[in-house]
Structures are given as C-alpha cells and as structure tokens.
Amino acid sequence: MKYTLLTGSLLLFAGLCIADLHTDYDHNVDFGRYHTYSWITAKTSNSVWTDHMRNDNDHALTEKGWHKVPSRGDAAVSAFGSTTNEQTLQTYYDGLGGGWFWRGFGDGTANTTAENTPMGTLVVDIFDGTSKKLIWRGVDTKSLSDDPEKNTDKLSKAVTDIFQKFPPASKR
C-alpha cells in the first residue's frame, strides 16, 4: 500500500514538473482598448511547427475578439517554440526489502539510469503596438513524445492553455 501511494505521489509530482504554465502581464494596462494585432515574428526549429504555432495563436486571439491586421495593430505578437532534452535519473533497487525508505536485509543494490526526456517550450509575447512595451507573456512547457502527430496536438493544447485567461480583466 505504501509503495502504491508513493508511486502515485511521485507520478503526480513528475506530471506537475513536466507541464508548466506561466502567464504574466502589465497590471497597469487596459486590455479592453486592444482589438487588433499584427505579427512581429513566429519562430521554431521546424518550419511546419512554426505554421501550426502561428495558426493556433491566430485562432486563440480571434476567439478572444481580436482581429489580425497586416501591420500597425493595436498590439504586436511574437511567438517562439523550442525543444530541448532534459535528463532525468531513475533509480531502481533490487534485493530483499530494498526501497526508498529503509535498507532491508541482504546486500541489495541500486541501479541508476539516465534518460533524455524531450521538452517543448512555447513563449508568446504581446507588445503594445505604439510603445513597443511588453504587456503580456505566456510560457508553457510540456514533455514531448516521439510521435509528431501527438506533438502537434500538444502544441495546440499549449496555445489553448496559455490563452485560457486572456485577456486580463480590463481596467474601468
């Protein structure tokens, strides 16, 4: 029972560490005055992903009532996507009674292996179109898989998650 609870707790903690979402904004900005946006740049290491990222952001902003214009929008959008490998260590215990909390009996051994986990990070910045000042930022980090189709779905979900509470409440 303890082993099951420990395993479940560790998996939950690992899941929280793998998927990480942060948004921040200038609390002095009235987001109610922004209705149009233009792209500054959208960049990833893979041109196919860049197109998906741009389209997903366009869709999310359109759903929020913003309209894309070719240039000189009320706001300017920039998005960057990157992938990295994070190394995780897994330790396995063998022998009678081996475990994380007590040594047990006999001469059990511990084996540690390193695994590379691909991580994807998406950063979306929104700037004031006139002052060029950063007014909002969303960052989402998720683990990736070896399946490109799943990663495309994860990218779409990341954009949806980033814009979930966007725009911040307007100042009145």
| Digit-coded pLDDT (tens) for 58-109 | 999 999 999 999 999 999 999 988 777 666 676 666 655 545 544 555 455 6
The DSSP line for 93-158 is EESTT--SS---SS--EEEEEEEEEEEEEEEEEEEETTT--EEEEEEEEEE--S-HHHHHHHHHHH
CATH code assigned to 16-84+118-162: 3.30.160.670
Summarize pLDDT for 112-131 with one digit per residue, the tens. 777 766 667 889 999 999 99
